[in-house]
């Protein structure tokens, strides 16, 4: 396994126990932290696949740190830990985008199962995000080509089909993508 995990808990013994469980299961622990500020810092440096983070920590709690981590896309997913099964915390964790919530004391089996499910969900989310980005890029290119066709139609008194053929021929003869040619055509002088 090459999944990269960050462990954040204000109790060093808990971090050590979780690290041992993860490494024994074949996961790579790429960083640790004792509060929310350290969590954000290590995630900025490591961009892990998963963060396992305590909710109640000094200085900056896990929920606020998790919100920042997810908004800035510093990690793919978060599993929260807590000594409490507080309804408000679990609801907030869900809104922040947590893929799991475990109540301490942890059992190795529930930790590993939650991590496995969290990583699978994270992978699916990343795939969907990548697909959305790709579709958005294609849509922007299509809009640019449509604008360029309009400019060519106006400037050269061409039909839509003739303007498209002109764009395609320019693309082939100049060995550039149609969107690159379109960008130059619609550029203001």
Q: Give the structural domain span for 71.
A: 4-106
Peptide bond into 105 cis (omega under 30): yes
Is 155 found in the same domain as 98? no
- What pLDDT is stored for residue 83 in this prediction? 81
Judge if 89 and 24 occupy the same domain.
Answer: yes
The reported pTM is 0.71
* pLDDT (average), residues 169-182: 90
d(CA 19, CA 30): 10
* Percent of the chain with pLDDT strictly greater than 90: 51
Q: Are residues 96 and 141 in the same domain?
A: no
95 and 141 share one domain: no
Residues 139 and 90 in one domain: no
Same domain for 86 and 148? no
Do 85 and 165 lie in one domain? The reply is: no
b/e map 51-84, b = 16+ CB within 10 Å:
bbbbbebeeebbbbbbbbbbeeebbbbbbbbbee
Same domain for 90 and 151, yes or no, is no
d(CA 22, CA 170): 56
Number of domains in the chain: 2
Give the model's confidence band at 108: pLDDT under 50 very low, under 70 low, under 90 confident, else very high. Answer: confident
Query: Are residues 33 and 84 located together in one domain of the fold?
Result: yes
Are 29 and 46 in contact by the 8 Å Cβ rule? The answer is no
The answer to whether residue 119 sits within a structural domain is no
In a domain, 60, yes or no: yes
């Amino acid at each position: 396994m090459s999944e990269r995990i960050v462990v954040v808990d204000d109790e060093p013994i808990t971090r050590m126990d979780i690290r041992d469980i993860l490494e024994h299961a074949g996961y790579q622990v790429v960083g640790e932290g004792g509060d929310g500020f350290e969590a954000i810092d290590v995630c900025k440096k490591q961009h892990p696949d998963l963060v396992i983070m305590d909710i109640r920590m000094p200085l900056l709690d896990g929920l606020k740190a998790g919100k920042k981590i997810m908004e800035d896309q510093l990690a793919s997913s978060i599993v929260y830990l807590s000594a409490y099964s507080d309804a408000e915390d679990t609801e907030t964790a869900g809104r922040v985008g947590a893929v799991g919530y475990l109540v301490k004391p942890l059992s190795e089996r529930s930790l590993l199962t939650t991590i496995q499910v969290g990583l699978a969900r994270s992978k699916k989310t990343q795939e969907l995000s990548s697909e959305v980005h790709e579709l958005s890029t294609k849509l922007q290119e299509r809009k640019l080509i449509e604008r360029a066709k309009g400019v060519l139609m106006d400037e050269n008194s061409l039909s839509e089909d003739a303007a498209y053929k002109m764009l395609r021929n320019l693309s082939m003869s100049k060995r550039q993508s149609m969107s690159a040619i379109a960008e130059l055509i619609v550029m203001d002088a």
